[in-house]
Structure 1
Amino acid sequence: MRTTFFRSLKMTLLSTTLAMLPAMGQANNLPDMGTTAAATLSIEMESQYGDAYMRMLRASRPIISDPVLQSYINDLGNQLVANASDVKTPFTFFLIRNSEVNAFAFFGGYVGLHTGLFLHAQDESELASVMAHEIAHVTQRHLARSMEEQAKRSPAALAAMIGSLLLAAASPEAGIAAIHATTAANMQGQINYTRSNEQEADRVGIETLYRSGFDPYGMPNFFGRLADQFRYVSKPPAMLLTHPLPESRITDSRLRAEQYPRQLDQNHLAFHLAKARVIARFSGLQAQQSRDWFIRRQAKAQGVFADSLQYGLAIVALDQHQYQQAQTLLNPLLKKSPNNRFYLDVATDIDLGLKRYDIAAKRLENALKLAPDNAVLELNLANVYLNSKQYAPAIRLLQRYTHQRPNETVGWNLLAQAYANHQQLAESYAAQGEVMALRGQWQKAINRYIEASRISELGSLNQARFDARIDQLRREQVRFNALRN
């Protein structure tokens, strides 16, 4: 299923930034660091700040709304969370279209990954090592603890710092200036505290990596290669500017990896397919450049590598509306793995391009019997129903989807489209309102619901439902503005 991403202002992500080189120490002798921050911020407050920040990110960053890639990073992230210690909050993983090598964690279990990570990671263990590090930042509550340290130096500093973080999300220049003003007097203490956080996240992260079945060498391998690659460039990645990688830290990371039995990467097909998808659609390359990238590597590729390159070429052909060529490339892969979500997604778009709606619907309906409630399959099937003007089944499917996944904009967007095409304008306005609320655009969301209520039958259950949601949105708007102010 082809999707879009939000383009808007460039923003600074003020959060716990990635720097993953492990320091020495025994992973099973870590102190309990999750309690001290409770005096400053409760888990509930962290969740509120995280939710507010995420809404602003949806409105102003190029977050990728690609169900296939989202499903992949969710599966990988949840595998790591299941093997992490001190998990006190749900986790939300998302992708940002940015070629910089970076990742970040924020209040409430939100972990963002730049697509640049896929361009530099060579296997799934390397990508997983980045995510494990960021998960550790959340479980150890590093941002809250850092704020507590600041508050100890100045009781007024905590509110100022939180306000500055949220201000930066809405207005980068003003936010950055506020952060500098807030922290300038205590800069050295902040640097030391951040180093301590990074070392702890390294230790906890590499243990999580191992316990999740990944190669512990994924961490030092990735960052050692990254340090070598950018050692002499005039402008290294933002991550290396904020967190230099001296040889001593890379050595420490390798020594820490040696404390665990080696678990060789299994050349996970899903990782290589995700990487191919990023290169084909989200790397900034033109179609011919992407095609050349895949073709240059085909001569020496074998196994899953060869399959992923062919998959990438199929996406390039599809996006150029070369449907027959895309089908020729995809068919051998689909025959080999008929229930692979990556392949089914592209096969569906090929069928849509060729107007073979019945074939696409039957394939997806059969796949859903084997994997009920799978997000990729459900969204693709809903898209098929929409394109074939079967609006009623599309609405039923998307109603269930948005009920189960209320924080995903792609489902609400499709539902709004289905309602509009089915001449249910009030419901379409309501679905649009949910998208705007997820972006923190509260007044626009309220206005959509007011319009939905206005055109509904007077005194009907629908009108009562819309009016109740208006009241709820107004309360959320007040709470949101209180956090920002």
Structure 2
Amino acid sequence: MTALFASSAFIAVLPASAQNLPNLGDTAREELSPVMERRLGEQIMRDIRRNRDYLEDAPVLEYLNNFGASLIAARPEVRGEADYDFFFFAVRDPMLNAFALPGGFIGVHSGLLLAAQSESELASVVAHEIGHVSQRHIARMIGNQKQDALIPLASMILGALAASSSPDLAAATIMGGQGVALQRQLNFSRDAEREADRVGLQILQEGGFDTSGMTAFFGRIQTASRAYNDSLPAYLRSHPMTTERIADIQARTRNQRYKQRADSLDFHVIRARMRVLQDSSAQGLREAALAFDSQLQQKSRPQSIAAKYGLAYIAFRQGAYDKATALVQEARALMPPNKSMPLASLGIDIRLNANQPGEALKEAELARSQFPMSRGIAHQYADALIAAGRHADAERYLRDQAQLYRQEPQLQERLAKVYAAQGKQSLQHLALAESYALRGSLPAALDQLSIARRAPDASFFDQSVIESREKEFQARMREEIKERQAGR
């Protein structure tokens, strides 16, 4: 998976598209502006979202963003003067890894979520990444590089990251005449990691998490990464030695009282879901089922609920809908109602895929009342309306939702489906154009607008909208081309 800035003892790789950076403006500036930083992050995210290992999974995304929001709420000043709009997401990768991108985008590897034994451990890593964003490490890193005309930005970042994973590659980078600036970048990264640790620790303390979760998880990372990290000489490390960081954190928390914090039920449920998503091959599902069967033997209610959820999710993916329904009911019997959005979401998915639209709509209506703020449930409610043939209701609902949540391409995609069922060709392709534009595919959006213009039912009003959106998308395309050329 790809990233611009890796954290802790973790490794990441710069995406090829990030080498075509937007125009950074005045080279005398010491750091990237918040606006340009966000635009750069969005540009990188467009490529990440197109990667097959990006997990566009509603329950996982919702859990991570709710969890991240709770950390930020514990220390709101981490939004800083830039007032970052954070977005947390997951990628399918077994490595213990997490990373921050410019502008407040924070990625978590599936392996990291599965390795975390508690929400305090997960919080320690996510809070650390929030610290990178809060302290504007990425903007400062890029700003510092702009003052050194000897080295291209992308090459310097790649060289620093290569030093963590390949001594030979790092040596080649240094021999290429980039040694001085590379060393400068490495030094900055060590300071940045220490600073992010301090900010992360403050978030944990104020959020009521167990601060020992940070040292416990860093110890696990140290064990997992020793083969490729601790063997490097100190001057080639882009991050402090894990033992050094653990010692520093232990010194800061030595006199603090132990805080026991109960994990949320959804932490266990989402880890079960992630186990299935990480490897959905036949062998992967067999191994996951064995792990869930073993988990059931622990006789812990949260673990049992999560294990039954995991087995239900496997059955769902295998098309065994009756078995999946029975397992969901068993999981629900173990807990009070209104407790788990992922469990409610899976129940709706099972009914939809089993071609039971009436039952799906009942489950979706109940879930909407239980989880009114859930975007995933909102999308599933629309799916249930469509499956039940209530296209007029679905259209009204989706149009209202699209007005409230203008940045969700999923709403436009569902609108296109409703319009297609109603035979509204022009509106169908207009909605598809909007969804493509929201996902950053402007050429595809313009193609859909051309189809919409030629549709036999395109009204005068539709033609006006098409013309307006064409002008806007074409202007955005010209601006993106100009930025890419300026960044070369």
- Tell me which interval the TM-score lies in, with the shorter structure as reference length: 0.7 to 0.9
CA distance in 2, matches of 1:245, 1:397: 53
CA distance in 2, matches of 1:459, 1:274: 46
Shift of 1:354: 3.7
| Partner secondary structure for residue 112 of structure 1 | strand
Q: Give 5+ residue unaligned stretches, structure 1.
A: 1-10, 21-36, 167-175
| Residue aligning to 1:252 | 248
| Residue aligning to 2:105 | 110
Report which stretch shifted further, 324-333 or 198-207: 324-333
Aligned residue runs from structure 1 range 33-432, under 5 A: 39-84=30-75, 85-87=77-79, 88-154=83-149, 160-161=152-153, 184-232=179-227, 243=239, 245-284=241-280, 286-335=284-333, 336-339=335-338, 340-432=340-432
| Partner secondary structure for residue 295 of structure 2 | helix
What letter is aligned with 1:104? F
| Partner secondary structure for residue 153 of structure 1 | coil
CA contact (8 A) 1:107 1:138 kept: yes
Residue by residue, what CA displacement relative to the aligned partner does 1:237-261 show, whole Å, maximum 9, x if unpaired?
xxx9864644232222222233543
| Residue aligning to 1:445 | 445
CA distance in 2, matches of 1:410, 1:281: 20
Relative distance call for 1:380 and 1:165 in structure 2 (3 A) is farther
CA distance in 2, matches of 1:199, 1:137: 10
Report which stretch shifted further, 121-130 or 11-20: 11-20
What letter is aligned with 2:399? Q
Higher relative contact order (CA 8 A, sep 6+): 1
Task: Give the root-mean-square deviation of aligned CA atoms.
Answer: 3.0
Report which stretch shifted further, 101-110 or 404-413: 404-413
Shift of 1:123: 1.0
Shift of 1:135: 0.9
Relative distance call for 1:162 and 1:469 in structure 2 (3 A) is farther
CA distance in 1, matches of 2:458, 2:307: 58
Relative distance call for 1:42 and 1:441 in structure 2 (3 A) is same
CA contact (8 A) 2:364 2:377 kept: yes
Shift of 1:435: 3.3
CA contact (8 A) 1:16 1:143 kept: no
Relative distance call for 1:191 and 1:483 in structure 2 (3 A) is same
Residue by residue, what CA displacement relative to the aligned partner does 1:26-79 show, whole Å, maximum 9, x if unpaired?
xxxxxxxxxxx9743211111221222222222235221111111101100111
CA distance in 1, matches of 2:178, 2:439: 29
CA contact (8 A) 1:210 1:260 kept: no
| Partner secondary structure for residue 99 of structure 2 | strand
Q: How many residues align?
A: 443
| Partner secondary structure for residue 226 of structure 2 | coil
In the alignment, is residue 463 of structure 1 matched against residue 453 of structure 2?
Answer: no
CA distance in 1, matches of 2:332, 2:286: 24
| Partner secondary structure for residue 82 of structure 1 | helix
| Partner secondary structure for residue 473 of structure 2 | helix
What letter is aligned with 1:477? M
CA distance in 1, matches of 2:438, 2:101: 17
CA distance in 2, matches of 1:344, 1:430: 32
Shift of 1:147: 1.6
| Partner secondary structure for residue 111 of structure 1 | strand
Shift of 1:86: 3.9
CA contact (8 A) 1:457 1:463 kept: no
Q: Percent identity?
A: 30
Shift of 1:164: 8.8
Q: Give 5+ residue unaligned stretches, structure 2.
A: 11-27, 159-169
| Partner secondary structure for residue 108 of structure 1 | coil
CA contact (8 A) 1:412 1:432 kept: yes
CA distance in 1, matches of 2:157, 2:448: 29
Shift of 1:291: 0.7
What letter is aligned with 2:397? L
